[in-house]
Amino acid sequence: MATTWLKAVHRTTSGSIAAALKRTLEYAQNPAKTDGGILVDSYECAAATAVADMLLSKRIYEQISGCNQRRRDVLGYQMRQSFAPGEVTPEQALELGREMALRFTKGRHQFVVAVHTNTNSIHSHIFFNSVTLDCSRKFRDFGFSAIALRKVSDMLCLEHGLSIIENPKLSRGNYADWLGDAKPPTMRDKLRDLIDEKLIVGRDFGEFLVSLKKTGCEVKVGKHVAIRLPDGKKNIRLDSLGDDYTETAIRERLMGTRTATPRVKIDGGADRKTAEYMAAVTEQNAPSLLIDIQAKVRAGAGAGYEQWMKIFNLKTAARTLLFLQDNGIDSYDDLVKKSSSSSDSFTAVRAKIKDVEARLKEISELQKNIGTYGKTKEVYAAYVKSGKNADFYEENRADIVLHQAAKKFFDAQELKGKLPSINSLKLEWATLDVERKKLYAEYKKVRELHLSLATAKANTDVILGKTNAPKKTRERGAL
């Protein structure tokens, strides 16, 4: 079973960049551990001159960006991939290490991979340069990058028929990461949560600040609005909390013209950049439908295409297994239950969206007719007062016809008595529009889960021999 490990490499307090790179790469390429240097490979650099090649990239990066390599800047990253004794040959480990590095770095960074055979378990050491191949930027580590690396490694191992650890535990690493869900929220986290709680569409900004003061907060209004929490030691400016928490953004949210992007937390601590990377990794591992190879062969597929289909199906089966593992599905009955439940959720959210959009359309029509009715009311009253004079009608035909059409609309809607105010309709429309945006975000999420579960179930049915290979069909789930 393969395990992975990731660590940033810095220069030492007294050492140079070249010395730090040389020390790391010499350890990885130690001939005594790599079968005399045979078990060493590289990408976009020569293993023997990797230090010089990477230093050149860093110098070009400094010239392009104007950023100097400071003492604590990351020079590169070490990755390690270990295998259970007897599971792979050194040559296979070298191939897997290279492929893992290519996938994780997306082929954008120089790297050296070396397989060590001096221990009971074969393992590879990979070092990749922090600077990209075009020397325009650097790789920035992100929270829980070890999880992303493990997913890449697991996917690769499953594709090659190797075992993986089903419930791995992260190393202790950074203390905050180790705490996970138990990590206490920062003052800024608390303030964002309080703002989200007190922010009600329809309130004006002054009322919103009063609601914060009632919780014991100290509010300072000047060139910048700053707030100090009851248990806080200093003021926190709104514009330091993120794009959705500036004074302008909060005013827009209060008016209903802006919807805040949900703050993403993974295992209690990951930021949005982490979520985006993890989503990309998850998308790569999403299952696709298996191909019915026999049907394709009968249809005249050639030997080359048949071989491609076999490889595709192997990778698809691996993705399906990873998907089931990531979603905590450990039995076929559980898969059937979750697939059915996701279908019901998908249908329910779609129905809610249609109801909200129908009401938004009604409000728009109502606002339009109320406005028309108010603008033409005096003209129509004068027309009635004239005894519905024909000449008066011809002179004011457009206003009279519009007024009558608005009245007809109200009758059709069975609106009697006092009409709702434009302001109340605007508030309802803004509230519903916020709800619609939230529903669309939920719709996208449940639709993707619904499709993935349906695909995983279809693949599992084929793998278990419960049905024939499924035909690829297009999901007709658009609204």
Average of per-residue pLDDT across 316-339: 78
Which of 37-46, 207-216, 284-293, 337-346 is predicted with the least confidence, judged by mean pLDDT? 284-293
Centre a 10 Å sphere on the Cβ of residue 38 and count the other Cβ atoms it contains: 12
pLDDT tens by residue, 189-211: 889 888 988 877 667 888 889 99
* CA atoms within 13 Å, Cβ hemisphere of 465: 0
pLDDT tens by residue, 58-104: 888 888 877 776 666 788 999 998 888 788 899 999 999 999 999 88
Domain ranges of the chain: 3-181, 187-255, 288-479
Residue 212 reports pLDDT greater than 60: yes
Structure tokens at 168: 């791995």
* CA distances for 68 relative to 63, 74, 140, angstroms: 9, 12, 16
Average of per-residue pLDDT across 320-349: 82
pLDDT tens by residue, 386-415: 998 999 999 999 999 999 998 888 888 877
Contact (CB, 8 A) for 253 and 242: no
Position 226 confidence tier, pLDDT thresholds 50, 70, 90: very high
Which CATH code, of 1.10.10.10, 3.30.930.30, 3.40.50.720, 2.60.40.1180, is assigned to 3-181?
3.30.930.30
pTM, to two decimals? 0.45
**Mean pLDDT over each residue of the chain, to the nearest integer:** 79
Query: What pLDDT is stored for residue 378 in this prediction?
Result: 92
DSSP-assigned states of every residue in 43-95: ESS-GGGHHHHHHHHHHHHHHHH-----TTSEEEEEEEEE--TTSS-HHHHHH
Average of per-residue pLDDT across 255-269: 58
DSSP-assigned states of every residue in 329-398: --SHHHHHHHHHHHHHHHHHHHHHHHHHHHHHHHHHHHHHHHHHHHHHHHHHHHHHHTTS-HHHHHHTHH
Which of 234-243, 417-426, 459-468 is predicted with the least confidence, judged by mean pLDDT? 459-468
Buried b (16+ CB within 10 A) or exposed e, 66-97: eeebeeeebbbbbbbbbbeeebbebeebbbbb
Query: Which neighbouring-strand residues pair with 124?
Result: 81, 115
Position 227 confidence tier, pLDDT thresholds 50, 70, 90: very high
Position 476 confidence tier, pLDDT thresholds 50, 70, 90: very low
Query: What pLDDT is stored for residue 39 in this prediction?
Result: 93
The closest of 455, 157, 88 to 318, measured between CA atoms, is: 157
* CA distances for 386 relative to 381, 390, 395, angstroms: 9, 9, 13
Query: What pLDDT is stored for residue 110 in this prediction?
Result: 94
Centre a 10 Å sphere on the Cβ of residue 105 and count the other Cβ atoms it contains: 20
Residue 458 reports pLDDT greater than 50: yes
